[in-house]
Amino acid sequence: MAARIALVADPDGPGGRLQRLADDGTPAGPPEHAPDLAAAVAAAEARERPRWVWASADGVYPGLLPLRVARCHDLSLVEPLLLGREGRHGAPRSLGAAWARLHGLPVPEDLPDGPAHDGQPGLFQPDRHQLPPGTDVLRAVVEVHADQQRRAARGDRPGLLRLLCAAESAGALAAAEMTYEGLPWRADVHDRLLTRLLGPRTPPGVRPRVLAELAGEVQRALGGRPFNPDSHAQVLRAFAEQGISLPSTRSWVLQRVDHPAAALMLRYKELSRIHAAHGWAWQEAWARGGRFRPEYVVGGVVSGRWASRGGGALQIPRMLRGAVVADPGWSLVVADAAQLEPRVLAAVSQDAGLARAAAQGDLYEALARTAFGGDRARAKLGLLGAMYGQTSGEVGPLLAVLNRRFPAAMAYVEAAARTGEQGGVVASRLGRVCPPPSAGRAGEDGPEEGGPTGGPPGGSPAAGSDGERAARARGRFTRNFVIQASAADWALALLAALRRRLAEIGPDATGGRPHLVFFQHDEVVVHVPTQQADEAAAAVAAAAEEARTLVFGDTPVRMPMETRVVDCYADAK
């Protein structure tokens, strides 16, 4: 078992304090003052590679980089995992809140996230632990860590929960490192792409030429009366004046409208989103110095998926990926999991038939041969409908086939749905628990990014009382949560294993070494000296296999990674 050392940084200087811990988390000897915290951490890493215990990686690790640590225990990320298992979702998670709960004191509310830094952070982030004045911060870290160790050992499957805590904490290290390294970004290429898509750059508040022209075309297609295509209400009114009643201006709604203005509006929305989210202003704010440095939020979504604090890190449009270009002499290793969520369903449900299909190359092709007469499209539609709770139209008969051929898998998602409909909670493979139902939050209970076929989240139209509709929405949420959150478990384990394996490759002759620069749900990008690209690609495959075994145990289901070595991100697809 790796040694554990609690760490508290001095926010006003380079020093800090360290406390060596026994296996049970209690202090093992007196605390030590470190005038140069980075030097002390580097010495301990070289000597024993301990697991560092700190209040939050956000507040400590950026100040230590480029020094890399192997592992940590992040109190601020582990606390909500434990609170969820204890039925206390949404309770404050800061060090001060955890310490107050431990001592039976009033619990302070978490402070809101601070503003994104401007690329020039101080050594350590401001102290946000919210402990009462005069409280010894290092002692609080030690006490809260020991309490978390005790709580994690309770209940069933404590080994899996400890793995989840370790993987979530490793994710915090990877997030800080990716922000530090940055994704290679060519501003000149980005500018050319934007100009080709939108026309020449215009002053703030002025639509680029292509957007202005599209706005005019939309207006003419809807009768010629001027209106603002960025206004939801005005767009609905303009369509209504042409006899077309729309429930919203969402893309999946417009895709079903047989009118020339609908296609124009879809194009306008797409380009307007690029201009707003990844246009010239974005470039100046987020992609300076040849690197895009987003601020990832580990566990920012209830399923365990990440979010980002500004910059749109998790939604780089395909048409702008040409700006992501490796440095001279370097390459990008781009890898993403193939058909991850249906494979996860096969693994967690232990359905023998679905597992056999998932042990082959193309899961949907195998499924089509087994149950759908070779029709891959129908096989995919049916399985995605089962995972997302879509039952309307042609999906219904497909679900009947799946129920006959893969009863264990279908029973697994149905049980999760019934639990949700009855107000219960479900958990991921490693033990991340979904939030309980709450008033006014039904909108979060659908798939996180729309339905699987581009249609409305949740599938069939709701009918009946508000309570019945809310119960069905809740069931759709829990049905998908057990799969999506388990997929996030695997992705975190992959990330942790890949960090370690890339570090083992070591530097090339010039001192360059492979490092993660991007992570999105089930996709990773490694920036690597070209001569080490094959080693990095092999590390990705090995990490995926390690994560599969750690999370799902002895299963025939495979989680293959489609890996490409390219100079430009756009060439990976």
What's the confidence (pLDDT) of residue 461?
44
pLDDT digits (tens, 9 = 90+) for 172-186: 999 999 999 999 999
Per-residue pLDDT for 156 more than 50? yes
Is-cis flag, bond preceding 30, omega within 30? no
How far apart are alpha carbons 492 and 164 in whole angstroms? 8
> Could you give the angle at which helices 466-505 and 407-421 cross, rounded to 10 degrees?
120
As a 3-state breakdown, the chain gives helix, strand, coil percent values, each rounded to 5, of: 50, 10, 40
pLDDT tens-digit readout, 43-84: 999 999 999 999 999 899 999 999 999 999 999 999 999 999
Average pLDDT of the residues in 192-202: 96
Considering the chain, what percentage of its residues have pLDDT values greater than 90?
Answer: 76
| Mean per-residue pLDDT of the chain | 89
pLDDT at 127: 54
Instruction: Kindly report the three-state secondary structure assignment for every residue of 94-121.
Output: CHHHHHHHHCCCCCCCCCCCCCCCCCCC
Q: Which CATH number fits domain 188-283: 1.20.1060.10, 1.10.3720.10, 1.10.150.300, 1.10.760.10?
A: 1.20.1060.10
Per-residue pLDDT band for 123 (boundaries 50, 70, 90) equals: low
- Mean pLDDT, residues 302-321: 86
The pLDDT, as a whole number, for residue 469 is: 86
Helices (H), 337-465: 340-349, 352-358, 363-371, 376-388, 395-405, 407-421
Fold of 293-339+488-572: Alpha-Beta Plaits (3.30.70)
Which pair of tokens denotes residue 495? 């990330």
Cα(549)–Cα(538) distance, integer angstroms:
17
Overall average pLDDT of the 409-418 stretch = 95
pLDDT at residue 117 above 60? no
pLDDT tens-digit readout, 224-257: 999 999 999 999 999 999 999 999 999 989 999 9
pLDDT of res. 527: 98
Q: With helix as H, strand as E and coil as C, how does 478-508 read?
A: HHHHHHHHHHHHHHHHHHHHHHHHHHHHCCC
Residue with tokens 């992040």: 74
Range with lowest mean pLDDT among 142-146, 147-151, 469-473, 561-565: 469-473
Q: Alpha helices, DSSP H only, in 241-375?
A: 251-254, 260-278, 280-286, 340-349, 352-358, 363-371
Closest CA to 169 of 247, 252, 55: 55
H/E segment holding residue 59: helix 57-64
Residue 463: pLDDT band (50, 70, 90) is: low
- 425 φ/ψ angles, rounded to the nearest 5 degrees: -120, 155
CA distances from 27 to 31, 140, 145 (A): 8, 12, 11
Residues 6+ positions from 268 with CB-CB distance below 8 Å: 211, 214, 215, 218, 229
Query: Which pairing describes strands 71-74 and 51-54: parallel, antiparallel, or unpaired?
Result: parallel
Instruction: Name the helix (H) or strand (E) containing 314.
Output: none
Q: What is the pLDDT of residue 128?
A: 62
Q: Residue 411 in 3-state DSSP?
A: helix
pLDDT, mean of residues 519-539? 96
Tell me the pLDDT tens digit for each residue of 487-524: 999 999 999 999 999 999 989 889 999 999 999 989 99
